Structure 1
Amino acid sequence: MVVLGIESSCDETAAAIVTDDRRILADTIFAQIAEHTPFGGVVPEIAARAHLDHLDDTIAAAMRQAGMKFADLDAVAVTGGPGLIGGVIVGVMMAKAIALAHKKPFIAVNHLEGHALTARLTDDVAFPYLLLLVSGGHCQLLVVEGVGRYQRLGATIDDAAGEAFDKAAKLMGLGFPGGPAVAKAAAGATAPFRNLPRPMKGRPDCNFSFSGLKTALRQRVDALKAEHAFDDATRANLAAGFQAAVVDCLIDRTRHALELAQAAHPTLSALVVAGGVAANQHLREALHKLAAKHGIPIVAPPPRLCTDNAAMIAWAGIERLHAGERSGFDYAPRPRWPLDSAAPALAGAGVKA
């Protein structure tokens, strides 16, 4: 089976061609960083317009890279939500048009499921496994029991980790996107700030919160500026302190979720991390140590497949198609689409902020 995947849920315009024997024949991405950098974050209207402008060329590039024509495809998969609705509509309409014109099956994929199943594309991870999904709009812990079978153990009650990084970078004047900018600045720290709060740490549930940490950072930046002490060295130390606080929170919540998951699922196969923040090396190192303490493998896909991409959408489409599923051409794009519909609604559990 050969599937074209299309991703346009946020600020990455992407297309990929993937086979069901786990070969990525093409993987093309148009990153909209230049469009959003002046604003210090993603502007939905600008993102949707950029998808309109670049999706045709991105898909054409993927087809050339794979040396294929649309007739060679077995299906077309696309992110159907959750996400910025303008961008999701652009991708879904394009996927429907290709599928209709070339008489191919069409399948709308949950963007979160794309992240959740990436480890099966890269490492053929067996069900069940624990997933830490950390990105710009999502932050949650799920037991992945099978395709379409997800048990949410925790999610953010306010901001996602990636959003917190973006806003922290803007506060400190580090640029966009925030995660890489904070990590780069933190690498130059000589005396990281150690007294920033760790919200929710030690709580009996597995939920996250980052708004209080963000507020504490803003107050610290304002105080330093008032004292005329906000120079490059201080900025680096603040960035390191903020990064350490976020990672501490993620590790504490993941530790608790791992204990619960292993107790409920003795055959738990791995701890998997996915999403854009999963590219953070400080977080990866801490997760490796955590997994080793619990005697379980850690699976972290390559950074390119952690950030938004179309290969994960194509693969999730393959998994769904193998289960005998496909979508109707009356499918309506969804701005919200939680993986675990039975879990209480929380900010980072199916909404792209």
Structure 2
Amino acid sequence: MSLLILGIESSCDETGVALVESSGDAVPRLVAHALHSQIEMHQAYGGVVPELASRDHIRRVLPLTEAVLTESGRSLRDVDVVAFTRGPGLAGALLVGAGVACALGASLGKPVLGVHHLEGHLLSPFLSADPPEFPFVALLVSGGHTQLMRVDSVGHYELLGETIDDAAGEAFDKSAKLLGLGYPGGPALSRLAQQGDPAAFKLPRPLLHSGDLDFSFAGLKTAVLTQAKKLGEHLEERKADLAASTQAAIVEVLVKKTLKALQETGLRRVVVAGGVGANRLLREQLDAACARQHVRVHYPELHLCTDNGAMIAMAAAMRLQAGRQQASTEYAFDVKPRWPLDALE
């Protein structure tokens, strides 16, 4: 039986809508998707303003839905299930997507399904031309989350390690802010790092030799601040070197901890998901390290690394396909701004 799933993502500063089609046991396929980023709106404030984010989601979600339907040649009546991001994320932003999804479901008489945002990222490589196979180790590097998971199948996730303070994405963004690079900081720091020397400054690699699979990046951010203050008036001329050294420290920790997770689990496949998964240096170094150990690495397509509706529709399709969840015609809804992935049923 074929199912057409409409997915709505509104957890933070991107509004995403997509259609995914699921048929039998085959990997669900992306039919169409549309995305609006709020980056330009939030730049003036140096970060995401939750109230503005929520209001912008309200303006964007229905026009994006219409665009996706037009691109696909489908109508709302063709949709079998409406999926939405239930959490984690900004409460007000989540409520917009949940409210619209449940209103659409009720008006069409179609069931709805709330999706875990991080599960969406985790399963997003299945949207690629080279989808992974279970089981695998997942490096989840999205926003405020840095986690290593063992993934045996849809809904069967074991947390191997996670950050105890700042996540990798936060380390990128906060270090960029210290260097005066604006918002969003992570991509700006990565671009600047291409012009610098990654060995110019000796920065810490927190928990690199801790013996476990946990992460910590708060100390690195403090070290960047200390070094920036030491440089004083010479910071501008050494900014690219400091950016490159910062990126090198973050990437080394991510790569080595991932390799340790592979060693401990005995698995031979890695999935990298989340916004930091688009980082070029991370991809280069992880690819090289895994190639030496004959380990396969899978990523989402670059344009699907950030938050998007396609990953939400895909996660819903795969949960339904695996029998992990049933879509519901109960249209009362709630959201979960804090929702650990390993607590997902």
**Same fold at TM > 0.5:** yes
Preserved contact between residue 197 and residue 244 of structure 2 (Cα < 8 Å): no
Structure 1 residues 4 and 191: alpha-carbon distance in aligned structure 2, compared to 1, 3 A threshold: closer
Preserved contact between residue 14 and residue 28 of structure 1 (Cα < 8 Å): yes
CA distance in 1, matches of 2:131, 2:172: 31
Q: Deviation of residue 39 (structure 1)? A: 2.1
CA distance in 2, matches of 1:309, 1:246: 25
Classify the secondary structure of the residue corresponding to 2:341. coil
CA distance in 2, matches of 1:213, 1:221: 12
Classify the secondary structure of the residue corresponding to 1:39. coil
CA distance in 2, matches of 1:159, 1:179: 14
Classify the secondary structure of the residue corresponding to 2:138. strand
Where does residue 33 of structure 1 map in the other structure? 39
Where does residue 298 of structure 1 map in the other structure? 297
Q: Does residue 1:141 correspond to 2:148, yes or no? A: yes
Preserved contact between residue 202 and residue 252 of structure 1 (Cα < 8 Å): no
Q: Residue 223 of structure 1 is aligned with which of 212, 216, 230?
A: 230
Preserved contact between residue 158 and residue 211 of structure 1 (Cα < 8 Å): yes
What is the correspondence of 1:264-343 to structure 2 with a 5 Å cutoff?
A: 268=267, 270-322=269-321, 323=323, 325-327=326-328, 328-341=330-343
CA distance in 2, matches of 1:214, 1:274: 23
Classify the secondary structure of the residue corresponding to 2:59. helix
Q: Residue 169 of structure 2 is aligned with which of 159, 162, 171?
A: 162
Q: Which amino acid aligns with 2:283?
A: R
Structure 1 residues 92 and 175: alpha-carbon distance in aligned structure 2, compared to 1, 3 A threshold: same
Q: Does residue 1:89 correspond to 2:98, yes or no? A: no
Classify the secondary structure of the residue corresponding to 2:33. strand
CA distance in 1, matches of 2:169, 2:291: 25
User: How many pairs were matched up?
Assistant: 334
Q: RMSD across aligned C-alpha pairs, in angstroms?
A: 1.5
What is the correspondence of 1:18-167 to structure 2 with a 5 Å cutoff?
A: 18-20=20-22, 22-122=28-128, 123-167=130-174
CA distance in 1, matches of 2:28, 2:268: 19
Structure 1 residues 203 and 336: alpha-carbon distance in aligned structure 2, compared to 1, 3 A threshold: same
Where does residue 17 of structure 1 map in the other structure? 19
Q: Deviation of residue 190 (structure 1)? A: 4.6
CA distance in 2, matches of 1:46, 1:15: 19
Q: Which amino acid aligns with 1:2?
A: L
Any runs of at least 4 consecutive aligned residues in structure 1 with deviations exceeding 3 A, and if so which? none
Classify the secondary structure of the residue corresponding to 1:330. coil
Q: Deviation of residue 341 (structure 1)? A: 2.4
CA distance in 2, matches of 1:221, 1:194: 11
Q: Residue 190 of structure 2 is aligned with which of 183, 196, 220?
A: 183
Higher mean C-alpha displacement, 325-334 vs 209-218: 325-334
